[in-house]
Structure 1
Amino acid sequence: MGGKFRDLKLKAAATWLIFFLGPYLRWDGSQAVLFDIPNRKFQIFDITILPQDVWLLALILLFFAILLAAITSVAGRVFCGYFCFQTIWTDAFTKIEELLEGSPAKRRKLDKAPWDARKIRIKVIKHSAWLSIGFLTGFSFSAWFTDAYQLWIDVLTLQASVFIYVMLLVFTLGTYVLAGFMREQACFWLCPYARIQGVMYDTETILPTYDIARGEPRGKLTKGNVVEGNGDCISCNQCVAVCPTGIDIRGGQQEGCITCGLCLDACDSVMDKIGKPRGLIRYASMNEMKGIEVKPLHKRPRVLIYLGIIAFAVTGLLYGLTHLGTFDLKVIHERQPLFVQMSSGDFQNKYELKILNKTDKVMNVSISVTGTDNITTKGIREKMSLAPSKLTSFTVFLSIPKKDLKKSRTPVYFTIDSYEEFDDSTEYQSMFYGPKYLD
């Protein structure tokens, strides 16, 4: 059965093409989006996220979690009805089954029929199609974590790791069982979101709602006409027949409702046929059905709290992405001892420099130290190369003549300047320690 919500559902399902096609997008000669866990880095176009920037991933997870809560508070489980992979995959499996075996009545008849060449052919094609979708699901998931093109070569030539084959097997069988056999039962018994949705609703949440005042009392059509005194609901049960989870929305909001709107399409089509206005089942809030004024979103405290958290996450992400830089510098002062006086009378401090190259290319840098006159460095090369996406660590000694050291603590500044392909610099302030009698 068609309808505007069924069409919207199909368009929403198209967003999953990103999941299947995204790994094949190339950028600057490599995979555009790659979550390279073995090498501990995430590559997103020109952005490289290393373990030191993992807080960005935390903000991304926070953003999507609160976004889901905000959407649920406003419009119920629309994610389940329009975007959830279980819903989309189940629709695809059901469509294949319908094309090959026909309507539910024909499918039941085929299941009861003896096994002949025709039945075997239909069943083999159907289950092969299901398994193929499951395999593509597992392969597409794996392709986000390694080069997609190389993965095809490794899998087809049996050169992939055991982990890859296990992953493909798990996703293939998991998709096959969940979408092919469990279907809506996965929503009832396995999905945690279905269990917690109730605490996200309030009386202003928009949900598929049956207009009791208009529809009751129900009554069958008599010779094509509605019986006088009956409501607009003619007990055709089309809303139940099209519901993916098989609930009767006329009994009120229930755990199984995934807010997909298919019952709205079914009811509207029936209303068109009997000459009644649409909207017997429609998206509405409890307050609207009771005639209570519906508050705009900016006056709903729960929504404002969600939006505030989302704004915080987005702000943090934008700040992080614009301040990643090309490298990161940390300077660790040796604590034992804080300083050493050389035979020449000069004071010497020891430091551990840690430089992280955040790019995927070799970076050429120069290091300088400032802070006071006549600083002598040992262990610093004028020019050095940093390996891509690696942490380079080395020891540096600084020496300052006694006559130039005026205090027991003198700020010193380590500056890194990159040249050639990258043009960037960063500075780190540390301390040079001397004896306390200098104060």
Structure 2
Amino acid sequence: MFSIFDFSLRINGFPIRKAKSDLDKIVGLSADEKKQFIENQKQAIVDFHLENNSFYQKLVGSKNYKNWKDLPILNKSNLQIPLESRLSKGFSTKTCYINKTSGSSGEPFVFAKDKYSHALTWASNMYRFGWFGIDFNRSLQARFYGIPLDFMGYKKERFKDFLSKRFRFPVFDLSYTALEKVLKKFQTTKFEYLNGYTSSIVLFAKFLRKQNLILKDICPTLKVCMVTSEMLFEDDKILLETQFGIPIINEYGASELDLIAFQNPNEEWLINSETLFVEILDENNNAVPNGTEGKIVITSLFNKAHPFIRYEIGDIGILDKKSTLEKPILKQLIGRTNDIAILPSGKKSPGLTFYYVTKSIIEDDGNVKEFVIKQREIDQFEIEYVSETELDLVQIQKIEQAIALYLEPNLHFAFIRKNTLERTARGKLKQFTSFL
């Protein structure tokens, strides 16, 4: 059978055959060989950029370094300069894969990957999705993502979807009428899997629950659902499993890097140690013990066009205690470093704590479809929500009591009912934002 997806990569200059072959070799390494491979590759990528990338030379301050931990932490503000000044010798914007980050961290930037590195990203995706019987060349995807709304951008994305065997449901309109159309498409199309933003897929599951429908009954070809880009809470996972009737797989990735972690069939959130090296560090950039939270810092082991070495992605996470260098396991993704709420007592709390506590009460009866929390002042918060009926005084008091219990008392909330919630240009929903 003609492999349209592989062919579309090859015709655009991405050596997918070599990438797949090389990835297979890495996957086949023994534990000791894998450790050695990671150390060799770390050394090789740093040496390459110190030799060939003036941006990285300047950042390090020298072409010599003694220890890995002496290398600087690269953050997003370092990268907000023209791309041309960050490219390595021998690479140009015409010979690389160029894209930009979504900006969900509030610090968007343009990045580059050399063509081999980008082909490895796709090989890595194919390998992991293959754990669940998904073949990018044959399996049809129901895609819940944003889409550019300008004419050319829209057409280009739709064409890419055709080549990638995807049908896209844009997430900017998730009204009852729009979700009815989504349902009709599932009734007439042999989708094998769903992939997309967690919040949008959860909304579709709530719609199905209201209709008392199971998606697998409507579309029997479905095998699995992969959610990405936003937090997946345990109760949402249960909702998705119930309403879809298929396994729900948690994916964590970044466009500038690769798939970072992907749940395997044993329900371990396995970190990609074939193309990335992931560290969890404290505020002083020292590695924390497994089981301790810290900032996630990632090295792209193959990207020669642009350095992503000890790159602070902006997320906070915890490695599992049984994690090893050759088999790292992400126990928990806590949220973004810029999503920290600072409270009047001086306490700092991940903004998702508010979201989680509020969520446990606000969605009890299924009235509220989705919501976001915004911190306007140190003790002033807004909860914007979409619902069938307005929250009543009893519900509001319950939320305020729970937050006083889990966080601290004397915080003030304004509840604002809306028809739709604001999403990023890519269609992501930012669950907590601090404006302090």
Give the structure with the larger helix fraction.
1
By the TM > 0.5 criterion, same fold? no
- TM tier, shorter chain? under 0.3
Superposition TM-score, scaled by structure 1 size: 0.19
Rg bigger for which structure?
Answer: 1
More strand by share: 2
**TM norm structure 2:** 0.19
